[in-house]
Chain A
Amino acid sequence: MALDYPEDLKYLDTHEYARLDEDLVTIGITAFAVDQLGDIVFLELPEIGDTVEKGEKFGTIESVKAVEDLNSPVTGTVVEVNTPLTDAPEQIADDPYIQGWLLKVRIDDPSELEDTLSADEYRAQVEGE
């Protein structure tokens, strides 16, 4: 199965993505991460008003077999959380880029995303794995 990496997103080598819309960043995990994890069974996310830090863990995702940290691509304040997903985390797999987003974060400094990977760079990295 070919995995999808939308061109308009920024990627971390730890398999999170960021979608920048003015000062709002939507954070999720990539289709590759979903595929690697297998059946996702648990999701732990911060709450609205919490702060996240670039490069730091903001939550946890678990599959039947594995526990993985979720890392933030930016520093900012959580303004929205996809809470329905914490009750049905397996639904991330259906649509990780649109319905399966995790957090929306208001950021101060968009330049933070400059050192992330483009879709092509990320694809080259994971397909080489």
Chain B
Amino acid sequence: MTDPSQPLARTPLYDLEIGLFARMTEFSGWEMPVQYSGITREHQAVRTAAGMFDISHMGKFRLKGKDVLSQIQPLVPSDLSRLQSGEAQYTVLLNSQAGIVDDLIFYNQGQDAAGNQQWVVIVNAATTQKDKTWMLDHLDRSQVDFQDYSLHNVLIAVQGPKAVSHLQALVAEDLSGVKSFGHLEGTVLGKPGFLARTGYTGEDGFEVMVDPGVGVELWQALLAEGVVPCGLGARDTLRLEAAMALYGQDIDETTTPLEAGLGWLVHLDSKGEFIGRSRLEQQKRDGVTRRLVGLQMQGRNIARHGYPVLADGKVVGEVTSGTLSPTLGVAIALAYVPAELSKPGQTVDVEIRGKTYPATVVKKPFYRRPQ
């Protein structure tokens, strides 16, 4: 929770954002841009050209040690031993009931000259402190050097079909060969930077972590390249079209990855013991009782977070995220529904301001970028 007596934190890009007439909002203790030129315009810039987001508020950890892998493996259901140096995995931290403590990305950076394994972990802004505590409680501190870089770096996401070509102009290394979820320590405007082909918009692009001074220069250089500054509003509509779960809304400590449609993160066969395993084994055996599905409203009404989902007049679930899709022009939502109602084509109702409106379960994601 945010402590109202604490002033809001600002990223090193704050002054540049104000200069671009950003509308600012409170987000997890940070003062962040919600929009610049308008959510729909920013959204379309990312789908058709390139947009950039200040995501410096996200949590950033570096883990180092002789055997970090064996320390982090029990924290997640994904088999991180599959990752080569330069590869990354989107996954979740689980509690003992397989509830999701957070969703995050582990980046394998290989070994340093002294034989230490090096990993970068990027987590949600709202859960940075919780994740740090969770990880420190479950890691052997004598084995792992844990560093929290959250407040010391700028992180900029450059996203869209033209994102890589704009970014390439400012980076020494060839980015074309970096595959999805690949990453490298590179040279951004002549200075060291961490570049990862990851994002949260359903588009191609990079997330770039640099020192604050370089970050200010990078933001200005991207702006000069014609990359459109985008706020949290467009970030939310973009990720929802791509059916990417938002922590605290679509997933939380009461939902498991199998319920949330994140079964592809669960590697029961190749993994040993991990926190939450027995619950996932049981859910795999017995089946889950509810699933997070995509809904498309049949009319113009917009289903939003917290609205009830009904079947045969009875409340059976809840909308977790919803908006009017700027790309598709229809109202879309994510919602938990009973497993037996989770097949595409199934019709349910959503209660909006006291009335019910029909919606259809559709395949996720709502939007997939052309290959």
Contacts and interface: CB of A to CB of B under 8 A. Distances in A.
B350 to A, nearest CB: 13
B39 A65 contact: yes
B353 interface: yes
Give 10 nearest A-B pairs by CB, closest first. A41-B324, A39-B40, A64-B39, A39-B39, A65-B233, A39-B38, A42-B302, A62-B302, A38-B39, A42-B300
Contacts of B35: 38
B38 A38 contact: yes
Chain B at the A interface: mostly helix, strand, loop or mixed? mixed
A42 B301 contact: yes
A60 B353 contact: yes
Interface in B38-54: 38-40
B98 to A, nearest CB: 32
Interface string B24-35: 000000000011
B320 interface: no
A67 interface: yes
Most interface-central of A39, A64, A65, A67 (chain B CB within 10 A): A64
A41 B233 contact: no
Contacts of A44: 301, 353
Contacts of B40: 39, 64
A62 B305 CA distance: 14
28 contacts: A38-B35, A38-B38, A38-B39, A38-B233, A39-B40, A41-B302, A41-B324, A42-B300, A42-B301, A42-B324, A44-B301, A60-B353, A62-B302, A62-B324, A63-B39, A64-B39, A64-B40, A64-B233, A64-B237, A64-B324, A64-B326, A65-B34, A65-B39, A65-B233, A65-B236, A65-B323, A67-B302, A67-B304
Interface of A: 38-39, 41-42, 44, 60, 62-65, 67
Chain A contact residues, majority secondary structure: strand
A65 B326 CA distance: 12
A126 B103 CA distance: 39
Contacts, number: 34
A106 B334 CA distance: 42
Contacts of A39: 38-40
A65 B322 CA distance: 9
Nearest to B38: A39
B1 to A, nearest CB: 22
Nearest to B329: A41
Contacts of B236: 65
B314 to A, nearest CB: 24
A60 B355 CA distance: 13
Contacts of A65: 34, 39, 233, 236, 323
A123 B39 CA distance: 26
A60 B354 CA distance: 13
A5 to B, nearest CB: 20
A84 to B, nearest CB: 14
Given A42-B324, A64-B39, 14 more contacts: A39-B38, A39-B39, A41-B302, A41-B324, A42-B300, A44-B353, A63-B39, A64-B40, A64-B233, A64-B237, A65-B39, A65-B233, A65-B323, A67-B302
Nearest to A41: B324
B21 to A, nearest CB: 9
Nearest to A90: B40
Contacts of B304: 67
Nearest to A87: B300
Interface in B223-238: 233, 236-237
A52 B236 CA distance: 35
Contacts of B324: 41-42, 62, 64
B304 to A, nearest CB: 6
Contacts of B326: 64
Contacts of B300: 42
Contacts of A38: 23, 35, 38-39, 233
A62 B352 CA distance: 12
A38 B233 CA distance: 10
Contacts of A67: 302, 304
Nearest to B23: A38
Contacts of A63: 39
